[in-house]
Structure 1
Amino acid sequence: MNSFDYFELVFENWFLYLASVVIVFFVYFIVFKKYYISVLDPFTFTCFFSAMAITVPVFLFFVNEITVRLFISFVLTQLFFFLGFRIFSPIEINKIEPRKKLDIDGQEIRFIKWFFIIIGFTNVSLQLFSYKLVGIPLLAESRLGIYGESGGINNLLKRILEVTSQCYIFLTIFFIYLEHKNLLFKVYTTISIVIIVVFSVLSGSKGAFMTFGLAFFIYALYAVKWGDFSIFFTIKKFIIKFGVVALLLALVVIALSEESGNPFIFLLFRIGQSGDVYYMAYPNEIVDKIPSLNWFIGLFASPLSLFGLIPRAMIPDPMGYFIMQYHYPNIEFRGPNARMNILSYVYFGIIYSPIYCFIIGGLLSFFRNRLFYLLPSNIFGCIVYFLFLNAALKLEPDFHSSLADFINILIILPVFVFLSYYLSLRKVHE
């Protein structure tokens, strides 16, 4: 079923679709209510789109567009994901015991300043270089495929930008709230805010600026660990201001990049397309036609190739490419994300796919609920938590993107950390 047929079906059965939305959100409320902290929580943001996505199979079941066998597979995988997530207890603000007051000494502040400078300079330089090399994503026909056309240099560029952009946003927030910074860093912080807004628009992503709000929430949450509750209690005021700005920027991006008469309608359609892989794969049992291969190669081909363990030719095309070409033969190198339920069904079958989903749920819960308590109570621990959480939140909708993010963090972040640390020590010795 292609997108046109699906939305036609939704309009013809709008009451059943609304009923599906209500049922799914009620289930999510029951499962995750103890884990809810704020609207700005990245986990809440992810849960919303996850719920909108799995509304699709429920709706397809109501209109008899999915077989009972496939629907049972979907329900089992989702159920085991929920069970896996509930392994770890939620973060409870009133039970967080501050480990220490954030007291940044001279060495630490030198390190953070160098880190901010190097990350910012690298991100801005490489972002401008990428615009020259492959063009501006906002103006591209497919912003998602813009880095996939020129081989190794683009791949490396994309990996570095993924890490540095998130760090740049987070460090900008830190320096907004840092007291006693000199005039130079006040100016640098202000310029960084402008750069982040501009790059968010030029990225062509409707939700790019949301990263700023999500980073603010993580910073406010982590500040509780060092005894500063004041920032966390300003979240409600921040949400209103930030929400207006984020929405306006999203509408600007839509108006500039999409041929849509009404940006609001387009935004609603995009939210409704969160589960596009389901309506493309489940009806007519298209999912059973997706080429399968060894699950280990299928899941980990990219890092295996990166470290030279398998030839690059063995890396399979994303499942979404096959699904997209099945419905739209003329479209290449694009497709929906193979969400957890689809990916596990193809690689493990109806019997073992729930085990995979249980593991995914457990991993997500660890990085969201447990890692928070294991990392040190300083700004570097806060950055690491933010990066790993963002990577883990992709485990359900896009495993391969999540895995790539984890690898990028583990390889790229230490380079900037060691360089910043070296420069901060060098200043002392001089």
Structure 2
Amino acid sequence: MDNYEFGALVEGNFLLYLALIGIVGIVYFLLYRKVIVGILDPYFIYVVSTVFAVADVFLLYFVNGITLYYFTHFLLTQAAFLVGFFMLKVFRNKVITSASENAHKYDDRTIRNILILVQTIVFLLFFIIQVYVYLVNGIPLFYESRLDFYSGGGGFGFMARVLMVLSLFFCYLFLLNTFRYAKTLTFLWRLFFGGMFLFYLSTLILSGGKSSILVPLSVFFAFLYTSGRRSLITNITNRYFWWFVLGLLALVSIIILVQSTEEEAVFPILAIFYRFIVSGDVYWYTYPNDVIRTYNITANGFAWLFNDILGLFRFMSWKDFGEHPGVYFYSYHHFTEVTKGPNMRHNVFGLLFFGYFGGIVYSFILGLLQSFVRFFLSSVRSNNVILNFIIVYLFVQSPAIEPDVTLFLFSVNNLLLILPVLIVFLFLSVAIYNLKWSVKSIFQ
């Protein structure tokens, strides 16, 4: 079943579809009401997407679009994921301390200067790489596929990895320094801070990703949530709720106006609604008519899970993996010259590579992994800047575990690759600061 056929299915059963969204939405609201903390929570948008995806499957089953075999497997894997996710909920309101031995080695003023120096160095590197990419490769906002933007060699794939981590590290440092030291900065430093952040925001818009503009809000939430400022999140959300909603709708609409077809540009709100509907596109690509069985498996599930790290370090050749299943299932139904495809949600990925019962176990493990990040890691409190950033980074990326865990693992691989550089930046900033004061003391 292609997108047009499913669109016609929704149109012909619109009231039923709305009823399914409402019922599934109530169930997920009851499940997540004590987990999600307002609209700023990175998990909010993913849970809404999941509600639509689940409703898609129910609609397919109720109109006899899929067999009982696929429907029951979907229900079992979805339930297994939820069971795994709530396994570690007991840590939600606990605090796990991890105090640094060097917490009091420097006074607060010295720490402030070092952190501002780290932020400046990180921003300058981010600025140089990003501008270089724009000058050589153009603006991704105007590309039909962002997958094609960083492909084709020239080191742009690696640059994408660096930019991904550096941008989040900069955003984290900006929030850290703003919350701690904004009142102690001079007007010029505040102006410089504002300029850095405006450039960072502009890169998110120019990236062309509909969800990219949510990144700073997600980092902001994760920064407050993992540092124990959860009451502040509630206060901010309640006070500025409609401003957030209107602002996000406006930004997403602008991106849709630039990227989408003439029809979508005229009705951007309907286009946003459509984006939620296609959260479950992989289900109508694979379940009807047993299309999932037509994919030729050339690499096992574990290889596909870790294909990024295996391919990057040449443990396996990219040719050994064959065609990506998401790309295959999309091209099975649609003719396209652009590289695109659905997210391989855990239900489909598990069934495809691990079988009926193996897929259920796989979904449970992924739920447990997301639970570990959401409940356990977010409870860790430390004075270590790098450790806190790692927690914030994983927290922001972890909602992707359910729709496509390979995206989460891709983010983890990027962090592991760039983390040594971030540590070098931190030590370099300390060395520069100490050298500055050593030289100054010589000439006094």
TM-score when normalising by structure 2 = 0.89
C-alpha deviation, 1:107, in angstroms: 4.0
Counterpart check, 1:206 vs 2:210:
yes
Counterpart check, 1:345 vs 2:351:
yes
Counterpart check, 1:417 vs 2:419:
no
Residues 52 and 277 of structure 2 are in contact (CA less than 8 Å); yes or no, is this contact kept in structure 1?
A: yes
What is the distance in 2 between the residues matched to 1:188 and 1:229? Answer: 30
Residues 145 and 339 of structure 2 are in contact (CA less than 8 Å); yes or no, is this contact kept in structure 1?
A: no
Q: Deviations over 1:95-154 (max 9, x none)?
A: 659999x99724432332122112211222222111223221111121233112x22601
Counterpart check, 1:154 vs 2:156:
yes
Q: Which residues of 2 match residues 21-60 of structure 1 at below 5 A? A: 21-60=21-60
Change (3 A) 1:69 1:331: farther
Residues 138 and 202 of structure 1 are in contact (CA less than 8 Å); yes or no, is this contact kept in structure 2?
A: yes
Which shows bigger deviation, 232-241 or 186-195?
232-241
What is the distance in 2 between the residues matched to 1:250 and 1:63? Answer: 33
2:173 maps to: 171
Change (3 A) 1:231 1:98: farther
C-alpha deviation, 1:380, in angstroms: 4.0
Q: Which runs of 5 or more structure 1 residues have no equivalent in the other structure?
A: none
Residues 324 and 336 of structure 1 are in contact (CA less than 8 Å); yes or no, is this contact kept in structure 2?
A: yes
C-alpha deviation, 1:378, in angstroms: 5.6
Change (3 A) 1:232 1:16: closer
Q: Deviations over 1:195-234 (max 9, x none)?
A: 1332222111223221121222122223426xx9656633
1:123 maps to: 126
Letter of the 1:427 counterpart: Y
Change (3 A) 1:182 1:43: same
Given candidates 220, 224, 229, the residue that maps to 2:228 is: 224
Residues 148 and 339 of structure 2 are in contact (CA less than 8 Å); yes or no, is this contact kept in structure 1?
A: yes
C-alpha deviation, 1:92, in angstroms: 4.9
Given candidates 98, 104, 113, the residue that maps to 2:116 is: 113
1:75 maps to: 75
Q: Which runs of 5 or more structure 2 residues have no equivalent in the other structure?
A: 439-444
1:282 maps to: 287
Q: Give every structure 1 segment of 4 or more consecutive aligned residues whose post-TM-superposition deviation is greater than 6 Å.
A: 97-100
Letter of the 1:425 counterpart: A
Counterpart check, 1:383 vs 2:386:
no
Letter of the 2:57 counterpart: P
C-alpha deviation, 1:189, in angstroms: 1.4
Structure 2 residue matching 1:330: 3-state secondary structure? coil
Letter of the 1:328 counterpart: H
1:253 maps to: 255
What is the distance in 1 between the residues matched to 2:397 and 2:381? Answer: 16
Given candidates 172, 178, 189, the residue that maps to 2:193 is: 189
Given candidates 349, 352, 375, the residue that maps to 1:369 is: 375
C-alpha deviation, 1:354, in angstroms: 0.5
What is the distance in 1 between the residues matched to 2:305 and 2:42? Answer: 25
What is the distance in 1 between the residues matched to 2:121 and 2:277? Answer: 40
What is the distance in 1 between the residues matched to 2:62 and 2:178? Answer: 50
2:442 maps to: none
Letter of the 2:163 counterpart: L
What is the distance in 2 between the residues matched to 1:314 and 1:97? Answer: 43
What is the distance in 1 between the residues matched to 2:425 and 2:85? Answer: 37
Q: Which residues of 2 match residues 237-276 of structure 1 at below 5 A? A: 237-259=239-261, 260-276=265-281
Change (3 A) 1:301 1:231: closer
2:441 maps to: none
Q: Deviations over 1:294-316 (max 9, x none)?
A: 22222223212323322332233
Percentage of pairs with the same residue: 26
Structure 2 residue matching 1:393: 3-state secondary structure? helix
1:137 maps to: 140
Residues 223 and 232 of structure 1 are in contact (CA less than 8 Å); yes or no, is this contact kept in structure 2?
A: no
C-alpha deviation, 1:263, in angstroms: 1.4
How many corresponding residue pairs?
Answer: 425
Letter of the 1:29 counterpart: F
Residues 114 and 433 of structure 2 are in contact (CA less than 8 Å); yes or no, is this contact kept in structure 1?
A: no
TM-score when normalising by structure 1 = 0.91
1:402 maps to: 408
Residues 222 and 396 of structure 2 are in contact (CA less than 8 Å); yes or no, is this contact kept in structure 1?
A: no
Residues 34 and 90 of structure 1 are in contact (CA less than 8 Å); yes or no, is this contact kept in structure 2?
A: no
C-alpha deviation, 1:353, in angstroms: 0.5
2:3 maps to: 3
Structure 2 residue matching 1:35: 3-state secondary structure? coil
What is the distance in 1 between the residues matched to 2:316 and 2:97? Answer: 47
Letter of the 1:214 counterpart: S
> Considering only aligned residues, what root-mean-square deviation do their CA atoms show, in Å?
2.4
What is the distance in 2 between the residues matched to 1:384 and 1:359? Answer: 21
